[in-house]
Amino acid sequence: MTFACLAAAFSPLGPLAERLLPQAFSADDGSHDAAHLIRVWKSARRIQAEEGGDPRRLAAAVLLHDCVAVEKNSPLRAEASRLAAEKAAGLLAAEGWSKEDVAAVAHAILTHSFSANLAPQTLEAKILQDADRLDAIGMIGAARCFYIAGRMGSGLYDPLDPLGENRPLDDKAFAIDHFEVKLFRLAEGFQTAAGARMAGERTERLRAIRAMLLDEI
């Protein structure tokens, strides 16, 4: 699929997307690919429809928030959003964006990451953080969790104690532990009312998915 075809999914900012997509994601990571960017954009647009915000800044932030690929198990993981923000700033400056717009997009990218643990200060930054975190919960969140576990060489669950009732939770060893360690808690930290409502719905789906898995094992 060409970048021009993918860019159509970022309407009404398709021309911007077509220019930025070649730098926007890593081709070998199925959890941070073009499909992830499109889902985050759709969630961001839903939130923006209720909350407001600058669509051009938001589109650039969504497109470039993962423009530097850092694996989950890398010691540089906490630096990923800073590295992406710096790269994005250079790309947008080359596009002729104003210093104010570049700084706004870079701030949104810098603060979107859970690992970075930085508070977003602008509406666009809050929307990006919410939209990106929505992709970590619900059915998509479960699928990405198991995909990343396979990529990292983790097991699905502890066959003797899947819920970790008599052992410390270890989401590096078992994918299902990540639900309790992180995913169920994400909904507590959403920045916008629209995002928080969507997060509540997706968290209930995530709990249902874990319940079905436990029933089957």
Residue type, 139: M
CA dihedral 136, 142, 148, 150 (to 10 degrees): 180
Contacts for 211-216 with beta carbons within 8 Å, 24 or more apart?
213/157, 213/176, 214/162, 214/163
The pLDDT assigned to 27 comes to 64
* Rounded (10°) angle between helices 34-51 and 123-134: 130
Question: Mean pLDDT in the chain?
Answer: 93
pLDDT band at 125 (very low <50, low <70, confident <90, very high): very high
CB 129 within 8 A of CB 122: no
pLDDT band at 44 (very low <50, low <70, confident <90, very high): very high
Max Cα–Cα distance, the chain, nearest Å: 58
- Take residue 8 and report the two structure tokens written for it: 């159509």
Residue 150 CA to residue 156 CA, distance in Å, equals 8
pLDDT 10s digits, 67-101: 987 776 666 667 888 999 999 999 999 999 999 99
Q: Nearest CA to 46 among 186, 198, 190, 183?
A: 198
pLDDT 10s digits, 26-42: 767 888 889 999 999 99
Instruction: Evaluate if residue 122 carries a pLDDT over 90.
Output: yes
Q: Three-state secondary structure along 161-182? A: CCCCCCCCCCCCCECCHHHHHC
CB 108 within 8 A of CB 57: yes
Q: For residues 70 and 108, which has the higher predicted lDDT (pLDDT)? A: 108
The pLDDT assigned to 25 comes to 82
CB 63 within 8 A of CB 57: no
* Rounded (10°) angle between helices 34-51 and 55-64: 150
Q: Nearest CA to 113 among 153, 151, 61?
A: 61
pLDDT 10s digits, 156-197: 999 999 999 999 999 999 999 999 999 999 999 999 999 999
Q: What's the CA angle centered on 159, arms 158 and 164, to 5 degrees?
A: 45
Sign of torsion over alpha carbons 122, 125, 129, 132 = positive
The pLDDT assigned to 36 comes to 93
